[in-house]
Amino acid sequence: MRGLGWIWWIWRGALLLLLVPVVLAVLYNVVNPVSTLILGRWATFQRVEQAWVPFDQISPALVRSVLASEDARFCQHNGVDLVELQNVMDTAEEGEPARGASTITMQLAKNLFLWNGRSFIRKGLEMPLALYLNLVMSKRRQIEIYLNIAEWGPNGEFGIEAASQRAFGLPAARLGARQAALLAVMLPNPHRRDAAKPGPGLSRLASRLQARLPREGAELTRCLGS
């Protein structure tokens, strides 16, 4: 009986852990959250630079650039992009280098509830959390939170306002097309890429992104009401 008691408490604890993101995801529709990475830096007394800005105070060029760079099917999928996932699987079967298939919603689930690093366990948790986030949270709110909590610099800069001020000395609302493109292509690796001092490689990526936006921009922001 004593052994069964321990099993009961383990299951009870696991259920409570599962309920935490379920409740928080709904709460985050009205409360501005921070990421687990920010919490970790606070806990270890590391620098965090962040200033929350509402969606309406973020340059539309930046929103379009990030969507085009990170998740071109953002308005179409339900949190997990099955089309892109299938493309990745087909590419792997053909022996080509593997590439990621994380949507912005999946990255948001990771930033809010999980941890960094490559792990099958984390990926396994990321997908159902993304599906749930997409169910209880609008696309507009998802991208607003993502742009405000994403790591965007090498020294504790989080969110687009801190990134914009660091790189260009401008508020996020005043970013132009070129500046937005540079910040968007910097986002996947903010410790090695610097929008303030772009090398030839980063500049080429930004130029390619800018070339795509006239064709894709309107569709990318259709679901955001902008």
- 14-18, 67-71, 136-140: range with lowest mean pLDDT: 14-18
- What is the residue-averaged pLDDT of the chain? 85
pLDDT at 99: 43
Q: For residue 34, is it within any domain?
A: no
Q: For residue 93, is it within any domain?
A: yes
pLDDT at 95: 40
Total domain count, the chain: 1
**pLDDT tens digits, residue range 110-134?**
999 988 777 777 788 889 999 999 9
Q: For residue 119, is it within any domain?
A: yes
Q: Which residues touch 132 (CB under 8 Å, ≥6 apart)?
A: 21, 22, 25, 79
**pLDDT tens digits, residue range 13-54?**
555 556 788 889 999 999 999 999 999 999 999 999 999 999
- Percent of the chain scoring above 90 in pLDDT: 66
Which range marks the domain in which residue 150 is found? 50-224
pLDDT at 66: 96
Q: For residue 58, is it within any domain?
A: yes
- The CATH number for 213's domain is 1.10.3810.10
Q: For residue 144, is it within any domain?
A: yes
Q: For residue 104, is it within any domain?
A: yes
Global pTM reads: 0.87
Q: For residue 123, is it within any domain?
A: yes
Q: For residue 112, is it within any domain?
A: yes
